């Protein structure tokens, strides 16, 4: 396993859309293992392939609290098939180190994806899991949380990221 380098805003590779994975090869499995290791080391509650410079539709999430056993969830070729409600959530992003911003999201989502075993599954999520699924899915479309801010906060965060050591 290996810890991968997480790209920081405004790296242009964060704007690339991921391509669907067509076969879950040993190489894909190894990459997912590296993504998980990278997420746990960061630490983060999620990580999208885009954030490590790989334009594939893969993300991993683990929302288990500290002290709880880890609960890795792997999403390959995920699609959000239903959304309900609105919620504001204070989000962080490993590609915006040190930032946290209130972001509007759906409060409930149904997501369809493949797991590492290649089996299609559907998951209904609310709370942090729903927010994380939407946040990671946005990464795969090259969308970032800064895009969801109003003009003033957008400018402040942009300048902060340019100023930071990154």
CB of 26 to ligand GNR, least distance (A): 25
> At its nearest, how many Å lie between Ni ion and the CB of residue 111?
16
Binding mask 7-46 for ligand GNR (x = CB under 6 A): -------------------------------------xxx
Give the residue at shortest CB distance from Ni ion: 93
Applying the rule CB under 6 A, the residues between 87 and 106 that interact with ligand GNR are 89, 91-95
**CA-CA distance, 79 to 66, in Å (whole number)?**
28
Confirm whether 136 is a catalytic residue: yes
- Strand order in 108-114's β-sheet? 46-48, 58-61, 73-84, 108-114, 120-126
Which does residue 91 bind out of Ni ion, ligand GNR, none, counting CB within 5 to 8 angstroms by kind? ligand GNR
Which of 21, 47 has the CB closer to ligand GNR?
47
| Residue 10: how many other CB atoms lie within 10 Å | 15
Cβ proximity to ligand GNR: between 8 and 154 the closer is 8
Residue 2, phi-psi category: left (phi > 0), alpha (psi -120 to 50), beta (remainder): beta
Options 66, 107, 122, 136, the catalytic residue: 136
Which residues 122-141 are close enough to bind ligand GNR by CB under 6 A?
A: 131-132, 135-136, 139
- Chain positions 82 to 141 lying near Ni ion, rule: CB under 5 A, are 93
Catalytic residues: 136
- Report the interface residues with Ni ion, using CB under 5 A: 93
- Report the interface residues with ligand GNR, using CB under 6 A: 44-48, 51, 89, 91-95, 131-132, 135-136, 139
């Amino acid at each position: 396993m290996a810890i991968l380098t997480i790209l920081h805003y405004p790296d242009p590779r964060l704007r690339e859309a991921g391509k669907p994975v067509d076969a879950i090869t040993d190489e894909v499995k190894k990459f997912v293992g590296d993504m998980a290791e990278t997420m746990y080391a960061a630490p983060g509650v999620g990580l999208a392939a885009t954030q490590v410079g790989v334009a594939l539709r893969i993300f991993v999430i683990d929302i288990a609290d500290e002290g709880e056993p880890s609960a890795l969830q792997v999403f390959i070729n995920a699609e959000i098939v239903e959304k309900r409600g609105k919620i504001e959530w204070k989000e962080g992003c490993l590609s915006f180190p040190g930032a946290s911003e209130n972001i509007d999201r759906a409060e409930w989502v149904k997501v369809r994806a493949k797991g590492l075993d290649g089996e299609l599954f559907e998951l209904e999520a609310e709370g942090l899991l729903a927010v994380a699924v939407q946040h990671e899915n946005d990464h795969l479309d090259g969308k970032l949380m800064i895009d969801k801010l109003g003009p003033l906060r957008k400018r402040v965060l942009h300048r902060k990221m340019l100023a930071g050591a990154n």
